């Protein structure tokens, strides 16, 4: 019996077994596509071969849409009724067509159709935008070989596997490509992979030797080839999908029939306590909020023409609740441009330009000294009050104070060394050597710009490009490179006369993150062999000879000053070699290069160490890492708003640290915690060592007593792989959240996503990820909110994001302004809906008690239908769209107001229960006060008492007035639209009563006009409406008045100062508000400027103390 069941199950398994869509392979024969292990065979330049099986592969078309024309209706309906709330209302609508419903079917079906229809329309609109974005990408053009050696343009989506394409300079690759040839003689190509792996350095790709001759279009006329691609892992031929177990049915007890029918009726009657209009109102409000974000001119980038874009409207309120920002570096924080700013040559500092940190610190310092001088005068008090009223900011952006350098990559200003004036300096020979090192010690390729006549440089790092531009401006222009030589065009005076010099390139010791230096060995025209080296100052100083330390003390002082100014520094050194010394070393070097085995790298490293010693110090460079416009100020503002910022980058540790200094995530004096893999032992040993480092770092932070102390956590990708393990990640997260800034270097896209998930799940708070490339897609999707930079690095990140902006600096306004507004608007909307529906729905429950729980409603069906759809919906929408507790300018001046969102001050249980209690109170007042007023009282002059339609209409009128007045008192900012919606809703109610009364009794259900004939002539109707409205709103008015007077929130005080233009009597509160204008932070531009000011004040105090000591000595 058991065997039969097993065989039956095996036969049934065929019903849910599916085959993989891959070519079949047998164990006996080779792979169906030529040979074992090969999953794809590509016929190059033979498009007809790929139009028939088995070589017909997928097209190059990409799609990020959720629906298409055929799947929209069923899939969108499934998405809508996947929500429990919509299922509930669907069930209620179905029951409404039965005799059990106390209302007409229209009153239940119409709102559901409206809500679902509007939500589907919103989904269609957002998917249409994604579809248009796909069209934009798929329609990009690229040259392809169409035959006979002729290239023509084709859209990306029409490319086929095997096509030969011609990609020109600064263009994007349309697909995965294999390099056949290039315009360079050696068939090399410099590729920027920033949007894939986050690397800023250019990658060198080399063509195959057999395809190097394909350098002309006509050479592709008869070109054919085959490419065999190996599978990285083997897919299974079959897999089994087991259906879910459906044996868990149960048979509930059957209640009494009357109990069931009454329960259904009660659910229908009290269904108004669950506001279906809440969903549609929030959908409408979110779409309009997203529209305002899209239309915000302050987030429009004029350079690229890209506006901000809310790609989804479902996360608007979460923009105001972000706790941690996880950012990519390359293309997000930086614009990949270095500016040569200062240098130290032969112990003398050159360069008069100032960095952003120096300018801001000097300005703040001058402002503080000016305040101390003016503080004694009475005029200053009035001036200070005026500044308090206007809420002026202090720091002025750099681009408003200084002009931009006209030369890209060169902001150096010092006449002593420009235009050949360096020849008049006392150490002119050392200065010339310094400039030659800049021009020769590099790996770049020059390209002549025919329009300007200047050379541009394709380099592996932006530092090299800045050095070459600086050398050119100093008169030493790198103009040509071959396999064996470097050519420099030297100009010694302003006359323009040049001399072309050739330096034979003998050897090159490349830069690595481990070596932290680069060396070239060249022979000049005089036959002298020179070793030219540049690298980190600590590395170079350790390799100086005794005679080469002449300028070490002065250079060290200059390097410290450059570091404090946020500049990236390198030291330059050299030495001369004799022929015999070089020949002996070169023999060992060539032998090591030809060695095959695991010891090859170690041998090369040891031989390089032999050459890079006994150097002579020449000087040092200082370049400013050009961030995107406004990045330091944006990070500063976000830090003041209380947001934590993590940087996840694929760059090396040194580059990431320098960027951290440039954007003020790091600063001088900040204690850096570097978690590294310091051994190559077994995994368990390494993991224990990393865990010990994390534990020691956490203990160090706990024992720190300096209130100004700040810690930065820096970790690389290899170490992060261990730190993200299940048994280590919690300790790592605890350490990370204690640090002011966190920088993760050399991380893969998967690690970015894992770190994001760790922060999101470990802290339980809202996370935001921002990036611009394909390597950021996983991180963007994993975060609660994903933001893509719509720059020049492709659209992968934008397509995967929830919001897109053109520059990182726009994130400040997106969060601090729109995020704060959207959070508060949605929170107030939801709380008001609780109030509104409780105040209305409980009156139905109270009447049930008077009606013997018969299921009878006191309100007309048409009243019920119009209540949420027309009479109370528009004021709520205006609240969610136009409400502003403070203006956008004040949001930016007082960024700490943003913390109301992460702290959830407007949607915690205290607020929710408070609004629900207010709704309960209003329902009691509306129902029982009307009952008391109309009970046994004459309603008309003839002495008639109020009928049930009259009582229900009067009660409903009180509800309309009370609810609309309540929302008017809730608003802080009024526009004419809000006035129109609030008071227009009340007028619409009276207009409806007038028109409804004139309809035939078959429609209205009344043989008389309820307003004109019954209610309007009765004074008690108007008096009851006025009394109930006042009684409902009086407690709320008392509450907000008490709160503003005795326990004001931050925005209350700002409103008093900003909007009413009057001084605050309680100066203590205003002083508190000024001190809380920004969250205390250890990172950001302001924190860095504060540290610089403390340093300058310390120097000033020491100088004053020194002068006081010397003065008595002179007098004596």
What are 804's strand-pairing partners?
309, 788
- Say if 498 falls within a structural domain: yes
Q: Which residues make beta-bridge pairs with 226?
A: 43
In this structure, is residue 4 part of a structural domain?
Answer: no
CA distance 823 to 316: 7
953, 1015: one domain:
yes
Q: In this structure, what are the phi and psi dihedrals at residue 1062, rounded to the nearest 5 degrees?
A: -135, 155
Q: At residue 921, does pLDDT exceed 90?
A: yes
Residue at 475 is within a domain: yes
CB atoms closer than 10 angstroms to residue 117 = 12
Same-domain check for residues 898 and 978: yes
Q: Which range among 448-457, 812-821, 933-942 shows the weakest confidence by mean pLDDT?
A: 933-942
Q: pLDDT by residue (tens digit) across 842-854?
A: 888 888 777 766 6
The predicted pLDDT at position 52 comes to 72
**Which residue matches tokens 């609740």?**
321
Task: Kindly report, residue by residue over 203-248, the tens digit of the pLDDT.
Answer: 777 777 777 777 676 667 667 777 776 555 445 555 555 544 433 3
- Sheet strands side by side (includes 348-350): 348-350, 334-345, 616-627, 568-577, 529-535, 517-523, 498-509, 485-491, 476-481
Residues 380 and 361 in one domain: yes
Provide the pLDDT confidence category of residue 399 given band limits of 50, 70 and 90. Answer: very low
What is the per-residue pLDDT for 201?
A: 65
Secondary structure string (H, E, C) spanning 143-211: EEEEECCEEEEEEHHHCCCCCCEECCCCCCCCCCCCCCCCCCCCCEEEECCHHHHCCCCCEEEECCHHH
Q: Which of 110-124, 417-431, 478-492 is the least confident region? A: 110-124
How far apart CA 854 and CA 864 sit, in angstroms, is: 18
Confidence of residue 439 (pLDDT cuts 50, 70, 90): very high
Higher-scoring residue by pLDDT: 158, 618: 618
pLDDT digits (tens, 9 = 90+) for 496-553: 788 899 999 999 998 876 788 899 999 999 899 999 999 988 889 999 999 999 999 9
Residue 434 pLDDT: 95
Residues 465, 569, single domain; the answer is yes
pLDDT at 945 over 60: yes
Confidence class for position 392, pLDDT limits 50, 70, 90: very low
Of 401 and 833, the one with more pLDDT? 833
Asked if residue 573 belongs to a domain, the reply is: yes
- Active-site position among 134, 163, 323, 328: 328
Please tell me the predicted confidence (pLDDT) of residue 396: 35
pLDDT level of residue 2 (50, 70, 90 thresholds): very low
Domain final position from 805, 836, 852: 805
User: Is the distance from CB of 208 to CB of 177 less than 8 angstroms?
Assistant: no
Q: Are residues 389 and 450 in the same domain?
A: no
Query: Can you give the pLDDT at residue 895?
Result: 86
Band (pLDDT 50/70/90 cuts) for residue 688 is confident
Considering the domain architecture, whether residues 652 and 739 belong to the same structural domain is answered as: yes
Residue 797 C-beta-side C-alpha neighbours within 13 Å: 35
How confident is the model at residue 251, as a pLDDT?
35
The helix (H) or strand (E) run that includes residue 1090 is helix 1085-1115
Among all chains, which residue has been given the structure tokens 């227009």? 984
d(CA 437, CA 486): 12
Mean pLDDT of the 424-451 span: 89
pLDDT mean over 605-630:
88
Residues 686, 738 within the same domain: yes
State the CB neighbour count (10 A cutoff) for residue 786. Answer: 27
Structure token pair of residue 420: 């050949």
Q: Is 248 a catalytic residue?
A: no
Helix (H) or strand (E) segment spanning residue 805: strand 803-805
Burial state string for 505-532 with b = 16 or more CB within 10 A and e = fewer than 16: bbbebebeeebbbbbbbbbeeeeebbbb
CB 466 within 8 A of CB 478: no
Portion of the chain with pLDDT greater than 70, in percent: 75
The whole-number pLDDT of residue 388 equals: 34
Question: CA–CA separation, 423 vs 435, rounded Å?
Answer: 12
Using omega within 30 degrees of 0 as the cis cutoff, is the peptide bond preceding 54 cis? yes
3-state secondary structure of 827: helix
> Are residues 913 and 1007 located together in one domain of the fold?
yes
Residues 133 and 158 in one domain: no
pLDDT of residue 447: 84
Contact assessment for residue 646 and residue 326, using Cβ atoms and an 8 Å cutoff: yes
pLDDT at 1022: 92
Last residue within a domain, chosen from 625, 656, 690? 625
Domain of 112, in residue numbers: 72-138+258-270
Q: Nearest to residue 287, comparing CAs of 73, 119, 83?
A: 119
Answer whether residue 414 is part of any domain.
no
CA 599 vs. chain centroid, Å, equals 44
In this structure, what CATH number is given to the domain that contains residue 525? 3.40.1110.10
With CA atoms as reference, report the closest residue to 364 among 1115, 1095, 1106: 1095
**Confidence check: pLDDT of 867 > 50:** yes
- Region 751-768: what's the mean pLDDT? 93
Residue 971 lies in a domain: yes
Model confidence over 21-80: pLDDT tens digits? 333 444 344 444 444 445 677 778 777 776 777 777 778 888 888 888 888 888 888 888
Q: Is the pLDDT of residue 1061 over 60?
A: no
Q: Return the exposure string of 554-590: e unless at least 16 CB atoms fall within 10 Å of the residue's CB, then b.
A: bbbebbebbbbbbbbbbbbbbbebeeeebeebbeebe
Please report how the helices 909-934 and 820-850 are oriented relative to each other, as an axis angle in degrees rounded to 10: 40
**Residue 632 within any structural domain of the chain:** no
Residue predicted with more confidence, 443 or 364: 443
Does pLDDT of 370 surpass 60?
Answer: no
Q: What is the mean pLDDT of residues 1050-1075?
A: 57
pLDDT at 498: 85
Q: What is the pLDDT of residue 23?
A: 39
Domain boundary among 752, 775, 805: 805
- Supply the pLDDT for residue 684: 81
* Residues 701, 790 share a domain: yes
Q: Which residue has the higher pLDDT, 413 or 397?
A: 413
The predicted pLDDT at position 616 comes to 94
Q: Regarding predicted confidence, which is higher, 1106 or 740?
A: 740
Are both 388 and 474 inside the same structural domain? Answer: no
Sequence-distant (6+) residues with CB within 8 A of 1005 are 860
pLDDT at 572: 96
Which of 816, 942, 798, 915 is CA-nearest to residue 310? 798
Rounded distance between C-alpha atoms, residue 365 and residue 599, angstroms: 56
pLDDT tens figures, 955-995: 999 999 999 999 999 998 888 999 999 999 999 999 999 88
Other Cβ atoms closer than 10 A to 967: 23
pLDDT of 918 reads 94
Our count of domains for the chain comes to: 6
User: In this model, does residue 249 exceed pLDDT 80?
Assistant: no
Task: State CA 70 to chain mean position distance.
Answer: 34
Q: Please determine, for residue 1094, whether its predicted confidence score (pLDDT) is greater than 90.
A: no
The reply to whether 470 and 557 lie within a common domain is yes
List, in sequence order, every residue forming a beta bridge with 521; answer none if it has no partner.
507, 531
Integer-rounded Cα Rg, in Å, for the chain is: 37
Confidence of residue 342 (pLDDT cuts 50, 70, 90): very high
CA dist 593 and 959 (Å) reads 89
pLDDT in tens, 791-813: 655 577 888 889 999 989 999 99
For the chain, give the mean pLDDT: 78
pLDDT of the residue at 174: 84
Per-residue pLDDT at 310 exceeds 70: yes
- Contact 800/312 with Cβ under 8 angstroms? no
| CA angle in degrees (0–180, nearest 5) for 1069-1071-1076 | 95
Residue 854 within any structural domain of the chain: yes
pLDDT in tens, 195-205: 665 565 677 77
| pLDDT tens profile 443-490 | 888 888 777 777 888 887 778 889 999 999 999 999 988 878 899 999
Q: What percent of the chain has pLDDT over 90?
A: 26
pLDDT digits (tens, 9 = 90+) for 521-532: 999 998 999 999
Residue 720 to residue 718: CA distance in whole angstroms: 5
């Amino acid at each position: 019996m058991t065997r039969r069941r097993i065989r039956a199950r095996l036969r049934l398994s065929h019903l849910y077994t599916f085959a993989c869509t891959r070519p079949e392979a047998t164990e006996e024969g080779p792979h169906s596509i030529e040979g074992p292990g090969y999953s794809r065979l590509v016929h190059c330049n033979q498009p007809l071969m790929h139009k028939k099986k088995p070589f017909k592969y997928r097209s190059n078309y990409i799609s990020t849409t959720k629906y298409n024309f055929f799947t929209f209706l069923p899939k969108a309906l499934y998405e809508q009724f996947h929500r429990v709330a919509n299922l509930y209302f669907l069930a209620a609508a179905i029951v409404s067509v039965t005799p059990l419903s106390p209302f007409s079917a229209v009153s239940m079906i119409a709102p559901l159709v409206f809500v679902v229809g509007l939500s589907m329309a919103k989904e269609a609109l957002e998917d249409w935008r994604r579809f248009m974005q796909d069209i934009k990408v798929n329609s990009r053009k690229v040259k392809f070989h169409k035959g006979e050696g002729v290239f023509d343009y084709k859209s990306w989506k029409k490319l086929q596997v095997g096509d030969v394409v011609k990609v020109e300079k600064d263009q994007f690759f349309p697909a995965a490509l294999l390099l056949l040839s290039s315009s360079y003689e050696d068939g090399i190509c410099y590729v920027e992979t920033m949007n894939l792996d986050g690397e800023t350095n250019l990658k060198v790709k080399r063509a195959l030797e057999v395809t190097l001759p394909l350098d002309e279009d006509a050479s592709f006329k008869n070109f054919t080839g085959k490419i065999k691609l190996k599978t990285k892992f083997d897919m299974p031929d079959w897999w089994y999908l087991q259906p879910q177990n459906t044996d868990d049915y149960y048979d509930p007890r059957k209640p009494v029939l009357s109990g069931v029918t009454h329960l259904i009726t009660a659910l229908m009657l009290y269904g108004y306590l669950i506001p279906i209009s809440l969903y549609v109102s929030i959908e409408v409000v979110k779409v309009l909020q997203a529209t305002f974000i899209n239309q915000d001119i302050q987030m429009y980038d004029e350079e690229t023409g890209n506006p901000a874009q809310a790609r989804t409207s479902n996360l608007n309120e979460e923009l105001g609740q972000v706790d941690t920002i996880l950012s990519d570096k390359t293309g997000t924080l930086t614009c990949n441009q270095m500016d040569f700013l200062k240098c130290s040559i032969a112990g003398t500092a050159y360069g008069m330009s100032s960095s952003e940190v120096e300018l801001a610190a000097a300005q703040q310092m001058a402002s503080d000294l000016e305040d101390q001088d003016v503080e004694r005068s009475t005029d200053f008090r009035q001036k200070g009050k005026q500044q308090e009223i206007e809420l002026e900011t202090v720091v002025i952006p750099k681009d408003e104070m200084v002009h931009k350098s006209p030369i890209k990559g060169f902001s150096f200003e010092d006449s002593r060394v420009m235009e050949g004036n360096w020849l008049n300096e006392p150490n002119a020979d050392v200065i010339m050597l310094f400039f030659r090192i800049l021009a020769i010690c590099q790996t770049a390729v020059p390209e002549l710009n025919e329009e300007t006549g200047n050379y541009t440089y394709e380099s592996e790092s932006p530092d090299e490009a800045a050095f070459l531009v600086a050398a050119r401006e100093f008169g030493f222009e790198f103009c040509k490179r071959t396999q064996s030589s470097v050519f420099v065009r030297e100009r010694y005076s302003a006359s323009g006369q040049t001399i072309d010099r050739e330096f034979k390139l003998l050897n090159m010791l490349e830069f690595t993150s481990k070596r932290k230096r680069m060396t070239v060995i060249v022979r000049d025209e005089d036959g002298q062999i020179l070793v030219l080296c540049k690298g980190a100052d600590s590395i170079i100083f350790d390799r100086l000879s005794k005679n080469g330390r002449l300028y070490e003390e002065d250079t060290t002082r200059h390097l410290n000053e450059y570091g404090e100014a946020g500049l990236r520094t390198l030291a330059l050194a050299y030495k001369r070699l004799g022929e015999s010394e070089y020949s002996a070393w070169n023999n060992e070097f060539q032998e090591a290069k030809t060695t095959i085995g695991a010891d090859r790298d170690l041998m090369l490293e040891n031989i390089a160490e032999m050459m890079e010693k006994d150097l002579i110090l020449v000087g040092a460079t200082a370049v400013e890492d050009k961030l995107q416009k406004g990045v330091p100020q944006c990070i500063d503002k976000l830090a003041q708003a209380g947001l934590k910022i993590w940087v996840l980058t694929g760059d090396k540790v040194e580059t990431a640290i320098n960027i951290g200094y440039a954007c003020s995530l790091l600063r001088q004096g900040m204690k850096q915690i570097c978690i590294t893999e310091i051994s190559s032992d077994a995994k368990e040993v390494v993991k224990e060592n990393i865990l010990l480092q994390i534990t020691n770092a956490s203990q160090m932070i706990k024992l720190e007593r300096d209130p100004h102390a700040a810690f930065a956590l820096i970790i690389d990708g290899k170490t992060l792989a261990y730190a993200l393990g299940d048994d280590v990640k919690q300790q790592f997260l605890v350490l990370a959240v204690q640090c002011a800034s966190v920088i993760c270097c050399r991380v893969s896209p998967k690690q970015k996503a894992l770190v994001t998930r760790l922060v999101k799940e470990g802290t339980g708070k809202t996370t935001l990820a921002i990036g611009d490339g394909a390597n950021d897609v996983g991180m963007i999707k994993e975060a609660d909110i994903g933001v893509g930079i719509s720059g020049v690095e492709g659209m992968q990140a934008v397509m995967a994001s929830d919001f897109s902006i053109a520059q990182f600096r726009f994130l400040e306004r997106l969060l601090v302004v729109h995020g704060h507004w959207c959070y508060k608007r949605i929170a107030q909307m939801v709380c008001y809906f609780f109030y509104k529906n409780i105040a209305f729905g409980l009156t139905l429950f109270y009447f049930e008690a008077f009606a013997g729980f018969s299921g009878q409603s006191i309100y007309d069906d048409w009243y019920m239908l119009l209540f949420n759809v027309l009479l109370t919906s528009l004021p709520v929408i205006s609240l969610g769209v136009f409400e502003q507790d403070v203006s956008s300018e004040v949001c930016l001046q007082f960024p700490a107001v943003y913390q109301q969102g992460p702290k959830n001050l407007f949607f915690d249980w205290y607020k929710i229960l408070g609004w629900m209690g207010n709704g309960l109170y209003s329902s009691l007042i509306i129902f029982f006060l009307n009952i008391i007023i109309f009970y046994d009282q004459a309603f008309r002059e003839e002495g008639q008492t109020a009928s049930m339609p009259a009582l229900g209409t009067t009660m409903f009128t009180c509800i309309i007035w009370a609810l609309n007045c309540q929302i008017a008192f809730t608003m802080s900012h009024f526009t004419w639209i809000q006035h129109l919606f609030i008071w227009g809703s009340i007028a619409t109610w009276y207009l409806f009563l007038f028109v409804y009364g004139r309809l035939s009794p078959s429609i209205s259900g009344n043989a008389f006009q309820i307003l004109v004939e019954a209610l309007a002539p009765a004074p008690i109707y108007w008096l009851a409406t006025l009394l109930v409205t006042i009684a409902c709103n009086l407690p709320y008015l008392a509450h907000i008045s008490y709160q503003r007077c005795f326990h004001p929130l931050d925005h209350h005080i700002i409103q008093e100062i900003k909007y009413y233009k009057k001084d605050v009597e309680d100066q203590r509160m205003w002083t508190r508000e000024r001190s809380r204008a920004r969250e205390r932070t250890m990172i950001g531009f302001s924190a860095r400027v504060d540290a610089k000011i403390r340093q300058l004040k310390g120097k000033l105090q020491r100088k004053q103390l020194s002068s006081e000591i010397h003065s008595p000595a002179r007098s004596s």
